[in-house]
């Protein structure tokens, strides 16, 4: 692999790392401000991308090294090991998100995440999907399996933000519906309420 390819791998990975840090801080901060446990868990998931980004940055120095007497066929196995590591991290993150989801279902929350939480989730979806597409294109252009695996980690972050956005909208919808019904039951007689609903 050429030095240009190594620089591209590192550039793409650094851009992804900076985006991951920014998104993680935004999601965790907004999650705490709005009381959205799902958004906080999603922010922690964004931090997990930094682990795989570090593996790419360090690993690319080894798997792109030229063949030598001890490794006459090159150092491509380091890329395979990096892929395995990324897959392992994705599995742990998936288990963690599932655990957090089960925990949040079992605990009663009286907080009401609003449009701010929804906006943070949607911003994450847009940014992470854009990172996925850009990283995947760059990975294919230099035929880097590890960089392509990291692209999929970006997409997993986008996909994990989708249920967060849906959950926030659903919670808002049902709280407004509940408020509407309680106001109608106070202000309307039974016949009027039936004609409204």
pLDDT bucket at 137, cuts 50 / 70 / 90: very high
pLDDT of residue 193: 46
The C-alpha R_g of the chain, in whole angstroms, comes to 22
Say how far apart CA 65 and CA 186 lie, in whole Å: 74
Residue 41 is classified by DSSP as H
Share of the chain above pLDDT 90, in %: 19
pLDDT digits (tens, 9 = 90+) for 171-187: 777 776 776 677 666 55
pLDDT digits (tens, 9 = 90+) for 80-126: 787 788 788 778 877 776 776 666 566 555 556 678 888 888 999 99
Residue 185: CB atoms within 10 A of its CB come to 11
pLDDT of residue 141: 92
- pTM, two decimal places: 0.70
Q: Which of 30-39, 88-97, 165-174 has the highest mean pLDDT?
A: 30-39
Contact 82, 148 (CB under 8 A): no
């Amino acid at each position: 692999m050429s030095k240009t390819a190594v620089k591209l791998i590192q550039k793409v990975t650094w851009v992804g790392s900076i985006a991951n840090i920014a998104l993680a801080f935004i999601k965790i901060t907004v999650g705490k401000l709005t009381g959205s446990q799902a958004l906080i868990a999603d922010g922690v998931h964004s931090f997990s991308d930094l682990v795989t980004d570090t593996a790419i940055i360090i690993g690319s120095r080894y798997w792109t090294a030229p063949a030598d007497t001890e490794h006459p066929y090159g150092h491509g196995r380091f890329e395979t090991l990096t892929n395995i590591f990324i897959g392992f991290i994705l599995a742990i993150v998936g288990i963690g998100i599932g655990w957090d989801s089960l925990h949040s279902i079992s605990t009663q929350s009286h907080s009401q995440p609003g449009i701010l939480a929804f906006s943070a989730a949607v911003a994450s979806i847009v940014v992470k999907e854009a990172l996925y597409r850009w990283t995947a294109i760059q990975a294919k252009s230099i035929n880097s399996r590890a960089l392509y695996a990291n692209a999929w980690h970006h997409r997993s972050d986008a996909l994990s933000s989708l249920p967060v956005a849906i959950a926030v909208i659903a919670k808002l919808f049902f709280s407004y519906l509940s408020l509407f019904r309680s106001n109608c039951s106070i202000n309307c007689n039974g016949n009027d309420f039936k004609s409204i609903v």
